[in-house]
Each structure stands twice: as C-alpha cells, then as structure tokens.
Structure 1
Amino acid sequence: MEFDIVSLSRLQFAATALYHFLFVPLTLGLSVLLAVMETVYVLTGRPIWRRMTQFWGTLFGINFVVGVATGITMEFQFGMNWSYYSHYVGDIFGAPLAIEGLMAFFLEATFVGLFFFGWDRMTRVQHLAATWAVAIGSNLSALWILIANGWMQNPVGAVFNPETMRMEVESFAAVLFNPVAQAKFVHTVSAGYVTASVFVLGVSAWYLLQGRHVALARRSMAVAASFGLLSSFSVVVLGDESGYVATEHQRMKLAAIEGIWETETPPAPLTIIGFPDQESRTTDHLVEVPAALGLIATRSLDTEVPGIADLVAHGRTRIENGILAYDALQSIRAAGGPDAADPAVREAFAANVANLGHALLLLQYVDDPRQATPEQIEAAAWDLVPPVATLFWSFRIMVGLGFFFIVLMTAFFWQMVRNRLGSPRWLLWVAVFAIPLPWIAAELGWIVAEVGRQPWIIEGVLPTAVAVSSLGVGEVMLTLAGFTLLYGTLFVIEIALMLRAIRSGPAEEPPRAGSWQSAPAGE
C-alpha cells in the first residue's frame, strides 16, 4: 500500500472500526441473553438462574467497557481524518450519531450501572426492567449507527445545496427508513445474537468438559442453543435480503462479490468456487449452481444481473454527465448563487446534479474535471470496481461460516431435546474451538460492506479520495501507530480479564438469607 494520506486514513479507520466491532456483536447478543436468563429467574425464583445472569453479566461488563472506549475514538476520527466528509454531509450524518451518543452514554450506561449495582437495592421486577433496558438500549444504539452507515451506502432523503456546497436533509423519514439501513440493522443484530450464542455455548462446553459448574453450564447451553438456532437461521435469511437490497442500490458491489465481469443471459448462475483476476478482468468459475444467483439476487428467472463491464460503461456515462453538472456548478458559484445564475445553467445543473459525485472521481487525475482527457475518464470509470478477489472470498467464507453455525446450533438443540447436553465429548470440543468463528464472520461481513462500497465514502455522492482532512502523512502514521499500540494493549487486557473470569467461574454460594434474591433451595 502506498503511504499517501488517503490510504493511511482509510487504514487507520479500518483498523479502529474492525477492532471496535470485536466487542459490538457480543454486547448485542449477551445483553438479550442476560435479559432472557433473568426473566426465567424472576418467573421461577430459582437461584441458579440469578447466578447465571450475574456470571454472564460479568463477561458482558468487561466487553461493554472496552467496546465503549474504542467506539469513542471512531467518532472523533470523522473530524480529525475526514474533515471534508464531515463538512459535506455533517447535517445528515451527525444526527444519527448524536442520537446514538444519547443512547450509548445516557440510556445504556445508566441501566448498565443499575444492572451491576442494583441487585440488593431494587425489587426483582425493577432489576429485570433495568436488564431489559440494557438489551433494548444496546440494540437501539446499533440501530442509529447502522442508519448512519446505511445512508453512506444509499444516500436517500438528502439534496446538494449549491449555495452551501453541502448535502442537506430533505426528508429525515427517508433517512430513518432507508431500506439499506433497515436490512443492515436486522442482519447485524442477528449476527450479534449468533456471536453471543456461540460464545455462551463454547464456554459452557468447556465447563462440561472440565466437569465444573455442570448445572449452570447445561442451562446456559440450552438457552444458547435455542436462541442461537433461531438467530443463525435469521442471519442467513436476512443476509439474503441484504443481498437483494444490494441488487437495487449497489449493483457494482454485487457484481464484484460474484466475480461477474460480463452480463450473462438470465438467470445467472451462482459461483460457489472460482478465482477472479482483476488484472485480466476474468473469473474462473469452477463450481456453479445454475440459475441460483438470478433467483437470489432478482427473485426472478428473467431479470439480468449486470456484469462489471456494463456497470463501468454506465459509470463512464455518469462521469461525463457529472462533468456537465460540475461546469454548471462553477458557473452558478461565479454568478453569486443559483438566483443570480442564468436559467439555462440552473436547468443544466438540475438535470445532471445526480451525477456530480462521479465527476469528483476525476480529481485524482486532474485539478479541474472539465479538463479531463478520455483516458482519465476511462481510468476513473474503472476505479468504480472494488477489489474483486477480496469481496469474492470474504463473502464466501462468511456465508460458509453462517451455514456452519446453523449445523452447530441444530446439533446442540437436538441434544437438548433428547436431554443429552454434555455428550458426545467431540461435539463439546467443536463448540469450544468454534468460539472465535462468529467474530471472523462478522469482520468479513464488514469488509464486504465497506470495501464493496469503494471508491465511494458515500455511494455515488462523494469519493473517498476527496473526503480526507488536510493532514501530513507523518501525522496520520503517528496516530495510527498510537492507536495500534493502545488497542493492542486493551485487547490483551480484555482477553486476560475474560479468561480470568471464565476460569474463576460463577459464584457457588446461594444468595444471603433475608434478601429479596432468596429462593427455595431447589434449582
């Protein structure tokens, strides 16, 4: 990778975002599992369910604290490393972030405190309400982040103002109910539920292999297997819906994921194994399922899935029309604003403003897009193609892991139905070694989402290359090294704390006599 300001800024944000997302899925899933476990405790009065809630709550707390700390840094980067982006779309992007901040630091933090310190100070129902508020707050926090990210993938409800040279909100309802954001939210939270389920399943399996905390482990495993089975099915179904939405709004991403260079006669086949080559612009399709891609991506047998070459040609046309918009915009600015500009210029701008972002792709090659040569326009058009091999294999590994989780959860759910949780031992070992796999799948999912959007920081509106701050390479390298060191240290501390808590296990002693947690001696 070249050490330029754009690539370094992208690398820094990617490193911090991927690191932060190590904590988000477990927070989303464990918060709901805690609420489920405490609900059972309140309904049955059995102390083992309280111990389960407190034990998994300790692990949730460790994860939550480090996750919040790493998330704060990401939001500051918008001002530090992406100042032109913040200026250009701050009116739209800032609102969901501000609401998310209120959710995270007021709603979540308040009720997390009540969860940990309110056991002896609140009634059962009050404490249960606080626990459910933690779960709801965590998921609402994710909702607003994904509304912001979904708008970057599909910028609806906003218009470009030639007077302020910024994107401005036209319909907040359109931003809120953006189909891409909604699809990303349900898919992401489901992935978090799978992550937590596999985590609880794996730790519980380890306890059973050690012969420790057997009663707690078996009950935890039953909850995780039931919740995880539903979640793993929903991840696959909702992931399919995300792919369908991409067919409508991000066709280049879909073509790159499937390695389709030329538009094929519908219905297009689905490549299971292939080897895309971006230099030769070809893909060796080794294993295919006939017609499957057409059915998945278009829900029909007669609708085309456009190939990369045709999408590049369409992009070339949009770049040429974007140059017309750029030229009209310069005339409007020279005249002192839209009201003072010639009506024909205003009309030309209105007709081509949707392509203005494509003209900005040329700023990598020439200072004034109107001076671009045909060769530079062609190069900018091919810049619309993201790294195909990265997307192709990231997507397939992610999907393969998704189906593995279905099989894993089905196996444990079947053992639960047969009242044989704890056997066979080889299945318990599979669960233990599967613990890191949901994180791998989740990180690959974000790589598909974010790398697939390139070269855009806002799809079709603002190229990544022009959104950075005016910083020196040395400054970004210094902060990148600092973040790497800090985050590496935090990661080691977090893993050490989690392992220590798991080794120590849940408290064995029953609640103290006379407290509201006291319950019959039976489990």
Structure 2
Amino acid sequence: MIEDIVLLSRLQFAITVFFHFIFVPLTIGLGAMVAGFEVKYWKTQQEKWKKLAQYWGNLFKINFAFGIVTGFAMTFQFGTNWGPYSEFMGDVFASPLALEALIAFFLEATFFGIWLFTSHKRPKLKAVSMVLVAVGTMISAIWIITANAFMQHPVGYQMAADGSKILLADFGAVLANPYLWYMLIHTLLAAYLLSAVFMVAVSGYFLLKKSNVDIYKTSMKLGVYVLIISAILLPTLGMFYGHYVGEVQPVKAAAMEAVWESGSDKPMYLFSIPSESEGRNLVQIIGIPYVGSFLLTGDFHGEVTGLNDIDPNDRPPVALTFYSFRIMVMLGILFILEALAGLYLVRKDPTMEKPNSRKYMKLMLYSLPLPYLAIMFGWAVAEVGRQPWIVYGLYRTSEAISGIPAIQILFSMGLLVLFYLLLFVLFLYLMKNAVVAGPEVKDHA
C-alpha cells in the first residue's frame, strides 16, 4: 500500500513538473531573443526590429503567463503530498526558493509589467526592461536548480543531532556545487535550442507562405545560428556532465548505459535491451570498445561500477533511465544534423526559396515537438536515475511522502489532469492565434 502511495505521489508531481516545464524553456530562450530585438530597435530605430520584438514578444507573453500559473501548483504539493520532505529539507530548500521569489520573480514581474505597458515610443526603457526580464528568468533558473542540485549531490550541510532533518552549514558550498553548474548550463542550452527550433519552425511557416519575407528571413537566420551553437555545445557539455555523474552518482551512470557488471575498458553498445529481472542486457549489438568507460569516467580504461554490485533496493528503474537517456542522445544528434543543414541553406540560399530550403522549413515544422521531448526525457534521466533517493544518499523517496490515502491522491490527480488539459487547450488556442497573426501588431500609446 505504501508503494502505491509513493508511486501515485511521484506520478502526480511528475505531471505537475512536466506540464510546468512546457512553458519554462521557451520563456527563457524567447526572453533573451526578444531582449535582443528590443535593443536592436533602440539602437537602429529600424521598423523591422520593432516588428520582430512585437511579434516574438507576444508569444513570450503567453508562455510567461502560463509558466507562472503552472509554477504555483508545484509549491502546494510540498505541503500536501510531501510534508516530511519539506521538514527534512526545509532549512536548505528554503534559502534558494526564497531568493528565487524575492530576487528573480520580483525582477521578472516588475520589469515584465514595465515592458508590457511601455510604448515603442520609449525604446530605451522598453529594451532595458526586457533585458532585465530575460536576466530574471535566468536568475530564477539558478535558484530552482540550486535546490535540485543539492538533492542530486548534497553539499554544505550537517545532519541535525536527532537525525530528523538536515541543516544548512555552508551556503557558499551549496552555490559552488559542481552539479548545480553542470545542470544549469545544460538546462539553459536546452532552452535556447528549443527556442531556436521554435523560431526556425515559425519563421519557416511564413516563408513558405511568402509572407513578410524580410522579417522572417531575419528571425530564421537568428534561429539557425542559435540552433547550431546550442546543438553543438549541448553534447560537448553533456560529455563532461556525464563524467561528473559517473563520479558522484555511479549507480545512475550505470543505469544510463545499462552496465550490469563492474569492470574497466567498457564498450558502448549502439543498441541494447536491458532486463532488470535478469540483471543483464537481453540484446547488445555493435559495441564500440572503451567508449562506455570514457562516457562514464572520462577515461577509456576507467573502472565502472556495475548494477549487479548494487543492492537492488538502491537501484533506479533501469529501463526507464536507459531508454530516456538514449532517446535524448538520439534527438541531440538529430538537432546537430538539422542545425548543420539550416546553416548550409541560409548561406547558400539567402532567399530561402529553393526547393531544398522549402523542404527544410517543412521538416522543421514537423520537428517542433522534438526539443520538448528531448528536455522531458533529459529530466527523466536526472530525476528517475536518482531513485530511490529524493536526497541522494541521505533520504529515501518512500520516507518523504505525507501518507495521504491513495484514493485522495487519485481524485486530486484526476482534477489536476483535467485542469491541465483545459489549460493546454487554451494555451494552444492562444499560441495558434498569436503565431498566425503575423508581425503587423499595433503599438499601444
């Protein structure tokens, strides 16, 4: 029965977080791009940059608003489904969340209002406001990921004398946590990649219709340049991130590659089917010698801890972690190929009217859901791979739940799903209307 409550509580929180994170990365990426358009208009006074700022700013507004609304739902669950966790982590968790609210949220909200109600007749104020909104979204990410990174790799704490909770001992150590900076930069790059794909896809939609060609060629090129940079940097950073995970969370690392037996000189198999019940891979095809050890340790001959040397009660769900990681990696390769193709086409076909360019723009329209999936699978690796610990090595997820009856969790989860479905339909309706409206947006007085 306890297992059912844990599973339902985790499922409800996963639904809440994943739905919230539909809006977060696009808000971060578009915020930075809109800020760039506003600054460009302030400096040049060219109508093109004003229209770009207005158009993409409208899409940013919708995401920003939905992100705020869905973010509140997460905080409620800490006091309902996860009461013991809040008590155990409260002394450490409270600081970054308080700073997120006091610094980042107020910065975002204040200057978002100024930007929203400032006319383009005052371009400097509008540009500065949007820059501060974009900075605020990134600061918000820092504080949220600070808390999550502590859960992944606890540092700067001491245990209370009675063992009931952890106490913050060194906030500087919490901020210097390497896990924080790996996760933060990886998350921001993923947000920029998603926003770049979104900008390329939407720009391509208008270029296919030959509508406002000059405006959307500019945003197409910007999207492609951001895409190529983020698509290349993500796996580069991810390689070092993987080495670090192998150091501090060797069980998660082993699950990511489905390594069952400890040893050195491990290959990486291009295709595997892990079996948790049998403690082995049922199928493993095309092994690349030494690459498995390198990915998990940074050394081609590095020693890797196998899952069979870990107590089964201390292992994460291997199949979910493994397949989530593989899907994320395959999508990452696809994004690099799409970025290279886009870079080639914008250079070779500046008009973006040749058949290959039109095929590329159609491809990017169909690719629009893929960066969302890559981000969700990436978070699944991070959070599922940490199990059975909610605070790695210190506090198990099964100890962190409030013990609410399963029927109550099911009822509230059903209402939550219904509410989110309605919210998502509204979001799609607003986004569709804002996308097809084009750049001819009237400026308020």
Change (3 A) 1:508 1:501: closer
Q: Distance in 1 between matches of 2:112 and 2:392?
A: 36
Q: In the alignment, is residue 223 of structure 1 matched against residue 154 of structure 2?
A: no
SS in 1 for 2:271: strand
What is residue 393 of structure 2 aligned with on the other side? 460
One-letter code aligned to 1:228: L
The alpha-carbon deviation at position 66 of structure 1 amounts to 0.6
Contact 1:412/1:421 (<8 A) preserved:
no
What is residue 413 of structure 1 aligned with on the other side? 343
What is residue 276 of structure 2 aligned with on the other side? 278
One-letter code aligned to 2:320: T
Q: In the alignment, is residue 7 of structure 1 matched against residue 42 of structure 2?
A: no
What is residue 326 of structure 2 aligned with on the other side? 396
One-letter code aligned to 2:34: L
The alpha-carbon deviation at position 242 of structure 1 amounts to 1.7
Tell me which moved more, 35-44 or 492-501: 35-44
Contact 2:37/2:53 (<8 A) preserved:
yes
Number of residue equivalences: 441
SS in 1 for 2:269: strand
One-letter code aligned to 1:272: L
Change (3 A) 1:13 1:477: same
One-letter code aligned to 1:14: A
Q: Distance in 1 between matches of 2:240 and 2:145?
A: 16
Contact 1:244/1:297 (<8 A) preserved:
yes
One-letter code aligned to 2:72: I
How do 1:121-520 residues align onto structure 2 when only pairs under 5 Å count? 123-163=122-162, 165-264=164-263, 266-283=264-281, 284-310=283-309, 312=310, 381-418=311-348, 419-423=350-354, 424=356, 425-507=358-440
One-letter code aligned to 2:385: G
Q: Distance in 2 between matches of 1:274 and 1:422?
A: 42
The alpha-carbon deviation at position 182 of structure 1 amounts to 0.9
What is residue 357 of structure 1 aligned with on the other side? none
The alpha-carbon deviation at position 404 of structure 1 amounts to 1.1
Q: Distance in 2 between matches of 1:77 and 1:241?
A: 34
CA deviations 1:72-129 (Å, max 9, x no partner) are 11012111111101101100011111111224431111111122211256x3222211
Q: Distance in 2 between matches of 1:505 and 1:210?
A: 11
Q: Distance in 1 between matches of 2:422 and 2:56?
A: 24
Tell me which moved more, 143-152 or 237-246: 237-246
Q: Distance in 1 between matches of 2:31 and 2:94?
A: 26
CA deviations 1:223-272 (Å, max 9, x no partner) are 111112111112111222221110111100010111110013x2211122
SS in 1 for 2:403: coil
Change (3 A) 1:481 1:398: same
Gaps of 5+ in 2: none
One-letter code aligned to 1:74: M
Q: Distance in 2 between matches of 1:49 and 1:281?
A: 58
CA RMSD of aligned residues (A): 1.7
One-letter code aligned to 2:276: Q
Gaps of 5+ in 1: 313-380, 516-523
Change (3 A) 1:406 1:75: same
Contact 1:205/1:422 (<8 A) preserved:
no
SS in 2 for 1:34: helix
Q: Distance in 2 between matches of 1:421 and 1:136?
A: 33
SS in 2 for 1:303: coil
What is residue 58 of structure 1 aligned with on the other side? 58
SS in 1 for 2:314: coil
How do 1:108-123 residues align onto structure 2 when only pairs under 5 Å count? 108-120=108-120, 123=122
Q: Distance in 1 between matches of 2:111 and 2:286?
A: 51
TM-score (norm 2): 0.95
CA deviations 1:432-466 (Å, max 9, x no partner) are 11111100000000111111011011000000001
The alpha-carbon deviation at position 296 of structure 1 amounts to 2.5
One-letter code aligned to 1:385: R
What is residue 343 of structure 1 aligned with on the other side? none
TM-score (norm 1): 0.82
SS in 1 for 2:158: strand
Q: Distance in 2 between matches of 1:189 and 1:487?
A: 25
Contact 1:274/1:287 (<8 A) preserved:
no
Q: Distance in 2 between matches of 1:186 and 1:247?
A: 18
Q: Distance in 1 between matches of 2:43 and 2:346?
A: 21
The alpha-carbon deviation at position 170 of structure 1 amounts to 1.1
Percent of pairs identical after alignment? 37
Q: Distance in 2 between matches of 1:426 and 1:95?
A: 50
One-letter code aligned to 1:468: I
What is residue 16 of structure 1 aligned with on the other side? 16
The alpha-carbon deviation at position 420 of structure 1 amounts to 4.1
SS in 2 for 1:288: strand
One-letter code aligned to 1:404: L
SS in 1 for 2:186: helix
SS in 2 for 1:4: helix
The alpha-carbon deviation at position 416 of structure 1 amounts to 2.0
What is residue 76 of structure 2 aligned with on the other side? 76
Q: Distance in 1 between matches of 2:51 and 2:333?
A: 32
Contact 2:105/2:140 (<8 A) preserved:
no
The alpha-carbon deviation at position 508 of structure 1 amounts to 6.4
What is residue 40 of structure 2 aligned with on the other side? 40
Contact 1:208/1:217 (<8 A) preserved:
yes
SS in 1 for 2:145: helix
The alpha-carbon deviation at position 4 of structure 1 amounts to 2.3
What is residue 27 of structure 1 aligned with on the other side? 27
CA deviations 1:44-90 (Å, max 9, x no partner) are 22111111111011011101101111011101211111110110110
Tell me which moved more, 383-392 or 83-92: 383-392
Contact 1:104/1:138 (<8 A) preserved:
yes
Q: Distance in 2 between matches of 1:115 and 1:228?
A: 27
Contact 2:115/2:125 (<8 A) preserved:
no
What is residue 376 of structure 1 aligned with on the other side? none
Q: Distance in 1 between matches of 2:187 and 2:105?
A: 21
Q: Distance in 2 between matches of 1:435 and 1:61?
A: 19
Change (3 A) 1:75 1:449: same
One-letter code aligned to 2:16: T
One-letter code aligned to 2:308: A
